Structure 1
Amino acid sequence: MLIQKLVTEYQRERNQEPNTLNDLLDYYQKKYITGEIDVKDYREIYDFLHQQGATSAHEYV
């Protein structure tokens, strides 16, 4: 999945720009937890964002 597609979906749903890659990662983690995306898509998104330097809010707990 391309980063622009991720950003566009975030903007459409939240009516704002993501401030950081971490915002995108947290957004897609929530979508996964609520069953809106499947594990395959989640892993692809997570791996891509993590490789770009994103860290999850859950990693700080």
Structure 2
Amino acid sequence: MLINELISDYETNRKEAPKTLNDILDYYQKKYIAGEIDIKFYRDIYNFLHQQGATSAHEYVY
């Protein structure tokens, strides 16, 4: 999986560049929840971005 592909998809659909890796992760999380991508693809993206340092909003403890 190439980060360039994830960024390109984000930019195409959001009409802006992601500010952080977290933005990309949140974007794909929303696509998964909406049923636009399957669980395997989402897990692959999540694991890849998480290894790069991204954190999902649901990981924060308040």
Quick one: which amino acid aligns to residue 48 of structure 1? F
Structure 1 spans left out of the alignment, 5+ residues: none
Name 1:20's counterpart in structure 2. Answer: 20
Deviation at 1:40, TM superposition (A): 0.7
4+ residue runs over 3 A deviation: none
Which residue of structure 2 aligns with residue 41 of structure 1?
41
Question: How far off is 1:60 after superposition?
Answer: 1.4
Can you list the C-alpha shifts for 1:2-51, whole angstroms capped at 9, x where unaligned? 10000000000000000000000000000001100001100000000000
In the aligned structure 1, how far is the partner of 2:58 from the partner of 2:13? 22
The alpha-carbon deviation at position 58 of structure 1 amounts to: 1.1
The CA RMSD measured in Å over matched residues stands at 0.8
User: 2:31 corresponds to which residue?
Assistant: 31
Unpaired stretches in structure 2, ≥5 consecutive residues: none
TM-score (norm 2): 0.94
Percent of residue pairs bearing the same amino acid type: 70
Aligned length: 61
